[in-house]
Amino acid sequence: MLAAVVNGRSSREWRCVATLVATLVAGCAPEPALVVDLRTDFRAGLEVDEARVDVFEGTDAETPGSTGRRPLGADEDLESGVRLAQLDALPAGTWTLVVTLALDGRPVAERRVLVSLSNASQVVTVVITRSCVGVVCPTDGDPAATTCIGGRCVDPRCTPETPERCPTPDCVGAADCALPPDSPPCATPVCLEGFCGATLDDARCATGAMCTSDGCVGAAPDAGPVDAGSDGGRADAGPPVALSGITAGGDYTCALRDDGEARCWGRNATGRLGTGATEDSLVPAAVVDLADGRELRAGFSQTCARSAGGAVRCWGFNGSGQVGDGTTTDRLAPVAVGGLSGVTTLAAGRNHTCAVVGGGEVWCWGRNAEGELGDGTTSDRLSPVRVSRLSNATQVTAGSGFSCARLDSGAVHCWGRNGDGQLGDGATLERRTPVPVSGLADAVALDAGGNHTCAVRSGGTVVCWGLNTNGQLGDGSTTTRLTPVAVMGLSDVVEVAAGQNHTCARTASGEVRCWGLNAQGQVGDGTRIERTSPVEVRGLDGASELTAGASHTCARVGTAEARCWGANDFGALGDGSATDRTEPVRVVGLP
């Protein structure tokens, strides 16, 4: 507590005003007058280790009515926000709050906020961004803009709780923000209550290194523990790692890095993100216990990774054995698939998983109610079984209750559910073993969607077959097709990606076109209009890989960036929000 009398007020009048920080969080009155929260892009423990709160009556910040300090621990997420103070029984009127962030007792950043208090309790969030360091307000513009957020001078009454006092927001999600020019290469953009900032991201550094304001640094050999307050014992860890793959699941997405680690984001029920927990993530989170991945495949709710040696590990929903560890126990982190080695490529479907092994055999496991495992039965398998009557496979893909494989000859064989003609054999009969797709002998790439399948032909055109109620076959109609039909207006295609009811294709030049259901923007043309033939995805150039989830789509752009669009209820787009996007947005925090 401070002195019993401050600025002439009695200890009764100020009975709880001075009880700040940790003491205040506990509170000394059941109904607080003012709660002060903090959101900032400064990193706790590394850039700031303490917050100071000064409270002044009126608009002249001269003699503080109370002062308190709150330590900021290295494990605190300042970007998401922390509670600084709970001020009880403040009289109604205008108050000035000054929040100062410090490191080792030295001020790093400061923000002043004017608060008009009534007799009701209220919360004020103080937003502090690194882009305001060195900015002096007011500028030659608005003389009332005396404080800074997001590098802009604004009215001191501007808070998330009083948006009418703020300028037009910079952002809805981090994808709307660009890094300030002086940001280190390992920083990533962040959107804080509508204002752009930049946060230091260790994920953009090599394993074991840390992102600092000077870039990626890592512990030198035998240097012992690293002192976050100095640069002793650190060495340059080199450039950030690169992205090597991206894969979209039902309502989540994962990316593979060239160092063998993986990041996933979106819905995490049953552990499909592989983080060891089940909390959803709006931004990429590290997959635990995975350091040697060479291929990554996301199904509807299970994910699998192939190592350089051909071993497979899976995680997520396992109700039908699709994780392949011999159980039906959901796995929150990667576990080894038993009885499988020498794998060259993978596929994950709705509730089953498949792999091609050396020599061209295909093995599958998980749900088998409609023959999707291809072993001639309808018995679920908790570990891999060989697909019957199939050899010389070079690629396998898995949809909802069915599977297809591309052979080295260019022929395609499919098996499993066929009620909508998704097997492409001209019938609607369920097949428990592979049957050839009619009239297709030159496929070079293949992908299965919810109930349809598409293939790239050797000349760069695309054919699709199966369910077409939303135009997902791209032939200009909504007529379901039992055999392959040409997608309209495509040429020079090198990759196709099929979602639940939409499809996309990537050309050799990196252009992406999509078609089909577009209710959540998954076609990426800036609208929600269903498309029965391909349209260009807006604002996307230089795509190097393409993937489609249930109702969202993502593309890897070069080796340093990923962009996603469509459904974002659980954060599958990775832009830090849960807002659907009808055009591509940048995934934050990669690689």
What rounded mean pLDDT belongs to the chain? Answer: 87
Q: Evaluate the CA torsion angle 220, 222, 223, 226 in order and state its sign.
A: positive
Give the C-alpha separation, 350 to 377, whole Å.
18
- Hey, what's the torsion of the CAs at 138, 144, 149, 153, to 10 degrees? -40
Q: Evaluate the CA torsion angle 193, 199, 204, 206 in order and state its sign.
A: negative
Stretch 355-366: mean pLDDT, rounded?
96
For the chain, the straight-line distance linking the first and the last C-alpha, in angstroms and rounded, comes to 47
Q: Indicate whether 265 pLDDT > 60.
A: yes
Q: Indicate whether 29 pLDDT > 70.
A: no
Confirm whether pTM is higher than 0.85: no
Per the DSSP assignment, residues forming a β-bridge with 564 are 554, 585
Stretch 73-79: mean pLDDT, rounded?
83
Stretch 492-519: mean pLDDT, rounded?
98
Write down the residue that tokens 């959803």 correspond to: 280
Q: What is the pLDDT of residue 208?
A: 62
Q: What is the pLDDT of residue 239?
A: 58
Q: How far is C-alpha 310 from the geometric centre of its chain's CA atoms?
A: 27
Q: Indicate whether 496 pLDDT > 80.
A: yes
Within a 13 Å sphere around the CA of 128, how many CA atoms are in the beta-carbon half? 30
CA-closest candidate to residue 567, choices 527, 522, 537 = 522
Q: Indicate whether 177 pLDDT > 90.
A: no
Q: What is the pLDDT of residue 127?
A: 93
Per the DSSP assignment, residues forming a β-bridge with 245 are 256
Q: What is the pLDDT of residue 418?
A: 98
Of 75 and 140, the structure prediction assigns the larger pLDDT to: 75
DSSP 560: T
Q: What is the pLDDT of residue 64?
A: 62
Measured in degrees and rounded to the nearest 5, phi and psi for residue 382 equal: -85, -5
Q: What is the pLDDT of residue 17?
A: 35
Q: Indicate whether 580 pLDDT > 70.
A: yes
Using one digit for the tens of pLDDT, what is the confidence trace for 420-445? 999 999 999 999 999 999 999 999 99
pLDDT over 90 percentage in the chain: 61
Q: What is the pLDDT of residue 277?
A: 95
In 380-480, beta strands by DSSP E = 381-386, 393-398, 402-407, 412-416, 431-436, 443-448, 452-457, 462-466
Structural domains of the chain ordered from first start: 21-167 (2.60.40), 243-586 (2.130.10.30)
Q: What is the pLDDT of residue 222?
A: 35
Pairing of β 243-248 and β 106-117: unpaired
DSSP 356: E
Encoding tokens for residue 424?
Answer: 């492409």
Q: What is the pLDDT of residue 174?
A: 78
Encoding tokens for residue 501?
Answer: 């009811």
* 3-state DSSP assignment of residue 438: coil
Q: How confident is the model at residue 76 (pLDDT cuts 50, 70, 90)?
A: confident
Give the highest mean pLDDT range of 111-120, 169-178, 443-452: 443-452
Please state which of the ranges 22-31, 390-399, 437-446, 517-526 shows the lowest mean pLDDT: 22-31
Q: Indicate whether 57 pLDDT > 90.
A: no
Q: Indicate whether 323 pLDDT > 80.
A: yes
Stretch 579-583: mean pLDDT, rounded?
95
Give the C-alpha separation, 290 to 254, whole Å.
13
Q: How confident is the model at residue 213 (pLDDT cuts 50, 70, 90)?
A: confident
Encoding tokens for residue 270?
Answer: 């049953």
Count other Cβ atoms within 10 Å, centred on residue 80: 9
Stretch 247-265: mean pLDDT, rounded?
97
Residue 136 near residue 147, CB atoms below 8 Å: no
Q: Which residues of 116-152 are buried (b: 16+ CB within 10 A; e: fewer)?
A: ebeeeeeebbbbbbbbbeeeebeeeeeeebebbbbbb
Q: Which residues of 224-234 are buried (b: 16+ CB within 10 A; e: fewer)?
A: eebebeeeeeb
Write down the residue that tokens 């200009």 correspond to: 476
Using one digit for the tens of pLDDT, what is the confidence trace for 121-130? 788 999 999 8
Q: What is the pLDDT of residue 105?
A: 82
Stretch 114-135: mean pLDDT, rounded?
85
CA-closest candidate to residue 38, choices 28, 26, 27, 48 = 48
